Amino acid sequence: MPADGNAGIPLQNQGFDFDFVVVGSGFGGSVSAYRLAEKGYRVAVMEMGRRWTPENLPHTSWSIHRWFWWPKLGLEGFFNMRFFRHVTVLHGCAVGGGSITYATTMLRPPDKVWQTGSWAGLAPWKTEMPRYYDAASHILGVTENKILGPADQLLKRSAEEAGAGNTFYRTSVAIFQAPEGESGGNTLPDPFFGGEGPARTTCVGCGGCMMGCRYGAKNTLDLNYLYLAEKRGTRIFPETRVVDVKPLNGVADGTAGYEVHTVRSTGWFKSEPRRFTCRGVVFSASSLGTMDLLFHLKEKGSLPHISNRLGKHVRTNSESLLAIRIPRTQEDLSNGVAIGTGIYIDEHTHIEAVRYPSGSDTMGLLTTLLTGGAPGWTRISLWLKNVAVAMLHHPFQTLRLFYPFGWARETVILLCMQAVDGDLEMCWQRPWFWPFRKSLASRGQKVPTYIPQANEFAGKVSQITGGTAMSMIPEILFDIPSTAHCLGGCVMAGSSEHGVVDDRNRVFGYKNMYVCDGSVIAANLGVNPSLTITALAERAMSFILPASETSWNDSTEERMHARAAIR
């Protein structure tokens, strides 16, 4: 594995430190780095998170300092939560972005998503996208899940009883799995890239994907796209936060290139400011990260021509998290892969069976008795009443539910998503509690905090299993939903009046500048988004000419030429 980039940098100098600087190393950033390096460009990836290996990953979620990313508090893990008035966003922060903490579910959305939102009609999506999904699936090693744990069997049984048995499916996952029925834990030479990739170990079904895979079975980006990019000379700068990007030599549209300023993102004292020059920039800092950076750069005058549509159409995939806890169950519900199976309880409502590994019980601190009802005080009163009634009837059983230890072994989480439209807006303002600097804030219509059909299904599952259905405490107390799938904010559109990038991810108003991450997604996908983010980045990179042929004229004609060459 090549060394990290923070040491001395012997740079080939052709007037620019790099051809492209990629900001962020998640799905969009890794694809960009690999494909650009493959085309002969000199690429640097700036990543604010740390590099993780099976050796330094936490064993359970109680290792808060190696799980959470709040570096100002000394927490330098790979998982972050950001709290807004309308939504709590869960996201990853590491070399490999969200892939270190994600559950590896790789689903293609239904065709209808290309007909809604500001990207509708911009390209023949239905005919074009399959080949980019195929390319992404190939590198990410997507396969049908072969390991069904007790939580998956429970979902299957419940779906059958609820009349939705025919919709039960095994998820597609980015995991190196042994053939069905064979035990995992075997280490083999690179099974994916003809010997060019690293050795890998087959999945043992520990359910720990969201805590980072300590077995080398999860196909994280540092084991595929980023690994191959580094082999082609890409430099990765971990623990490096980009704080400024501005056009060079006062050429406002970036034709003369850009300067990128970074600081160290970890540690309390040394900020280690650095400056890099490059011809092109790819923003891949995730939906929140890219909005954060672009709002800051637009306001401070570094990139003033970014579209005013920045922050519009932020989507949360209409999600709700529920859980069923079965105290003293004989089966270990944490066995399997993090998200092994799914069902559709109606045309719009998709439910997946999710789990944490045994011992990772901290999420249990956020769950409580299932409570429906109207948001606000009515729901809080109903919740208090439910807890009081449960305490009166079954005091020990109820107390046991609130005891976090053993939670992961005894619980199946139901991740409910709806492919219905509805969006939020993010803006840049001074929070009332910290008026000294501006930051992202949400506004607009509240996204529903619970999906009634999903609550009803959770109630049924609890009856079938003898368990207790549970809701997330923040949803009840603050009427704020949580999502791991924050999308949009720099959406694709036909012009800067409607979006931030064009249908090839090119930023309106600038040359050789792209956004390749979840922020460009212009519709509610209704399925986990990483495969779509990866496929769209593959598509965006397919338009770029090889380094030996480029004239750095970021025009439609040049891109058409590149596409024709690829065909």
Ligand X SMILES: Cc1cc2nc3c(=O)[nH]c(=O)nc-3n(C[C@H](O)[C@H](O)[C@H](O)COP(=O)(O)OP(=O)(O)OC[C@H]3O[C@@H](n4cnc5c(N)ncnc54)[C@H](O)[C@@H]3O)c2cc1C
**Contacts of ligand X in 21-40 (CB under 6 A):** 23-29
**Contacts of ligand SF4 in 107-166 (CB under 6 A):** none
**What is the nearest approach in angstroms of ligand SF4 to the Cβ of residue 41?**
32
Binding segment for ligand X (CB under 6 A), chosen from 84-92, 160-168, 404-412, 490-498, is 84-92
Q: Is 205 in the site for ligand SF4 (CB under 6 A)?
A: yes
Q: Is 481 in the site for ligand X (CB under 6 A)?
A: no
Q: Is 353 in the site for ligand SF4 (CB under 6 A)?
A: no
How many residues interact with ligand X (rule CB under 6 A)? 41
DSSP 277-319: EEEEEEE-SHHHHHHHHHHHHHHTTSSTTS-TTTTEEEE--SE
Q: Please confirm, yes or no, whether 485 is among the known catalytic residues.
A: yes
Phi-psi region at 406: left, alpha or beta (left = phi > 0; alpha = psi -120 to 50): left
Considering only residues 218, 296, 298, 506, which one is a binding residue for ligand SF4 as defined by CB under 6 A? 218
As a whole number of angstroms, the distance between CA 175 and CA 186 comes to: 13
- In the set 261, 313, 485, 498, the catalytic residue is 485
> Rounded to the nearest 10 degrees, what angle do helices 556-566 and 530-542 cross at?
100
CB contact set of 496 (below 8 Å; sequence gap of 6+): 307, 308, 309, 508, 509
Q: Is 418 in the site for ligand X (CB under 6 A)?
A: no
Q: Is 545 in the site for ligand SF4 (CB under 6 A)?
A: no
Q: Is 213 in the site for ligand SF4 (CB under 6 A)?
A: yes
Q: Is 222 in the site for ligand X (CB under 6 A)?
A: no
Amino acid identity of 334? S
**Contacts of ligand X in 176-215 (CB under 6 A):** 210
**What is the nearest approach in angstroms of ligand X to the Cβ of residue 89?**
8
Instruction: Return the one option of ligand SF4, ligand X, none that residue 204 interacts with (CB less than 5 to 8 A, by type).
Output: ligand SF4
DSSP 500-513: SB-TTSBBTT-SSE
**Contacts of ligand X in 143-162 (CB under 6 A):** none
Considering only residues 164, 175, 333, 527, which one is a binding residue for ligand SF4 as defined by CB under 6 A? 175
Q: Which of 481, 316, 491, 343 is nearest to 412 (CA)?
A: 343
Say if residues 450 and 299 touch (Cβ distance below 8 Å). Answer: no
Q: Is 71 in the site for ligand SF4 (CB under 6 A)?
A: no
**Strand-pair category, 235-237 with 43-46:** parallel
CA-CA-CA-CA torsion sign (186, 190, 191, 197): positive
Considering only residues 204, 223, 291, 339, which one is a binding residue for ligand X as defined by CB under 6 A? 339
Q: Is 528 in the site for ligand X (CB under 6 A)?
A: yes
Q: Is 209 in the site for ligand SF4 (CB under 6 A)?
A: yes
Using only C-alpha atoms, the chain has a radius of gyration, in whole angstroms, of 23
Binding mask 427-456 for ligand X (x = CB under 6 A): ------------------------------
DSSP 356-397: --TT--GGGGGEEE---SSTTHHHHHHHHHHHHHHHHH-HHH
Q: Is 289 in the site for ligand SF4 (CB under 6 A)?
A: no
**Strand-pair category, 18-23 with 274-283:** parallel
Q: Which of 528, 482, 488 is nearest to 87 (CA)?
A: 482
The residue count of the chain comes to 567
Summarize as ranges the residues that interact with ligand X (CB under 6 A).
23-29, 46-49, 90-94, 97-98, 101-105, 210, 241-242, 284-287, 289, 293, 339, 484-485, 517-518, 528-530, 533
> Which residues participate in catalysis according to the annotation?
485
Residues that bind ligand SF4 (CB under 6 A): 175, 203-209, 213, 215, 217-218, 337-338
